[in-house]
């Protein structure tokens, strides 16, 4: 008896992945399969009946002007945000990597906006930018600079940039921390060697630091790509996809369509959205792998 128990115990470690995989299978894979099933139907979400329509929903997507516009919004937000997040995050990290007093505090403060739920962050900025009594307007008025105020949220061309800015504000801390971690792994001697060779700061960063940061860059790019392409909460709170449909991202479009009597179609669009996420991420990973080899 004890020998059997002992034998089991010796092999137990092989099964340590089972709980995680089980959780994943039940709460993710099962609904996903049913979801894919739904995407092949014309289900409205309101009545129990539905019919299989094959890939018609997917064809419909490309003919649907509003859906294609949502794709465009998603790509603009989803490709520009990671770029800005990485750039600014790197700058912050380079700044805070120096031996300056109080940098621990600043690091903490910069990350703190990431703790607020994106929904609340959206509302906060709504309060800031409101065209009647927002804090920004009040501040400018106090400084007699009201004429500088612009109703960005009311302008279709500019609203998306506001959302990008808010998203940047909130998550630059996360990108920064990842880069800080990477910078810590770069030994001081390498930097010293560069200085001795006469390289200026800019050159050092470009040719020495950035290549050594590749793992950190990879993490930041992939995580932020996924997060930005799937953005929902901050747009919902800040502009609700408006004005009109100017900032309606794919996630917002899918949510609305799903609850407005076109659930089958909406699920199909969600699968398209998966491809929209998969392609840039794969391309980015390939590019970075290439950069790795070139080193």
| In the complex, minimum distance from the CB of residue 46 to other proteins, in angstroms, rounded to a whole number | 4
Binding to other proteins (CB under 8 A): which residues in 18-37? 19-21, 23-24, 26-28, 30-32, 34-36
Tokens of 154: 């009311």
Tokens of 9: 């115990």
In the complex with other proteins, the residue whose CB is nearer, 56 or 256, is: 256
3-state secondary structure of 163: helix
Contact call for residue 62 and other proteins (CB under 8 A): no
In the complex with other proteins, the residue whose CB is nearer, 8 or 193, is: 8
* Distance, CA of 194 to CA of 151 (rounded, Å): 48
Among residues 10, 54, 290, 293, the one that binds other proteins under rule CB under 8 A: 10
The site map against other proteins for 122-161 (x = CB under 8 A) is -xxxxxx-xxxx-x--xx-xx--------x-xxxx-----
The three-point CA angle 274-178-199 to 5° equals: 120
| In the complex, minimum distance from the CB of residue 83 to other proteins, in angstroms, rounded to a whole number | 18
Q: How many residues form the binding site for other proteins (CB under 8 A)?
A: 119
Among residues 96, 163, 221, 235, the one that binds other proteins under rule CB under 8 A: 96
Q: Which stretch binds other proteins (CB under 8 A): 76-84, 107-115, 188-196, 202-210?
A: 107-115
* Distance, CA of 36 to CA of 47 (rounded, Å): 19
| In the complex, minimum distance from the CB of residue 44 to other proteins, in angstroms, rounded to a whole number | 4
End-to-end CA separation in angstroms for the chain = 57
Among residues 55, 87, 100, 190, the one that binds other proteins under rule CB under 8 A: 100
Residue pair 229/276 in contact by the 8 Å Cβ criterion:
yes
DSSP 1-26: -HHHHHHHHHHGGGGTTHHHHHHHII
DSSP state of 48: S
The percent of the chain in helix, strand and coil, each rounded to the nearest 5, is 80, 0, 20
| In the complex, minimum distance from the CB of residue 29 to other proteins, in angstroms, rounded to a whole number | 8
DSSP state of 244: T
* Distance, CA of 203 to CA of 264 (rounded, Å): 54
Q: How many other β-carbons are positioned within 10 Å of the β-carbon of residue 118? A: 22
Contact call for residue 243 and other proteins (CB under 8 A): yes
3-state secondary structure of 150: coil
Among residues 216, 221, 234, 235, the one that binds other proteins under rule CB under 8 A: 216
| In the complex, minimum distance from the CB of residue 129 to other proteins, in angstroms, rounded to a whole number | 8
The site map against other proteins for 163-202 (x = CB under 8 A) is ------xx--x---xx-xxx-xx---------------x-
Q: Which stretch binds other proteins (CB under 8 A): 75-83, 189-197, 203-211, 248-256?
A: 248-256
* Distance, CA of 85 to CA of 226 (rounded, Å): 13
Contact call for residue 45 and other proteins (CB under 8 A): yes
């Amino acid at each position: 008896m004890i020998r059997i128990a002992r034998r089991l115990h010796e092999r137990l470690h092989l099964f340590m992945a089972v709980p995680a995989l089980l959780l994943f299978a039940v709460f993710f894979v099962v609904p996903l399969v049913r979801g894919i099933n739904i995407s092949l139907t014309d289900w409205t979400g309101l009545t129990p009946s539905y019919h299989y329509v094959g890939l018609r929903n997917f064809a419909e997507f490309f003919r649907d002007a509003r859906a294609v516009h949502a794709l465009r919004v998603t790509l603009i937000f989803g490709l520009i945000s990671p770029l800005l997040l990485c750039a600014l995050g790197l700058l912050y990290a380079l700044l805070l990597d120096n031996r300056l007093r109080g940098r621990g505090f600043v690091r903490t403060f910069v990350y703190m906006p990431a703790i607020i739920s994106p929904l609340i962050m959206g509302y906060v900025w709504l309060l800031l930018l409101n065209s009647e009594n927002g804090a920004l307007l009040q501040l400018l008025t106090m400084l007699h600079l009201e004429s500088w105020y612009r109703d960005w949220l009311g302008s279709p061309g500019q609203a998306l940039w506001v959302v990008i800015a808010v998203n940047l504000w909130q998550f630059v801390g996360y990108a920064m921390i990842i880069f800080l971690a990477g910078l810590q792994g770069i030994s001081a001697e390498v930097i010293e060697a560069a200085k001795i060779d006469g390289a200026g700061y800019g050159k050092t960063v470009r040719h020495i630091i950035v290549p050594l940061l590749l793992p950190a860059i990879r993490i930041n790019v992939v995580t932020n790509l996924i997060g930005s392409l799937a953005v929902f909460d901050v747009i919902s709170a800040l502009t609700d996809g408006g004005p009109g449909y100017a900032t309606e991202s794919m996630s917002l479009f899918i949510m609305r369509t799903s609850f407005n009597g076109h659930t089958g179609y909406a699920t199909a669009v969600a699968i398209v959205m998966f491809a929209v996420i998969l392609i840039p991420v794969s391309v980015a990973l390939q590019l970075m792998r290439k950069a790795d080899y070139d080193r």
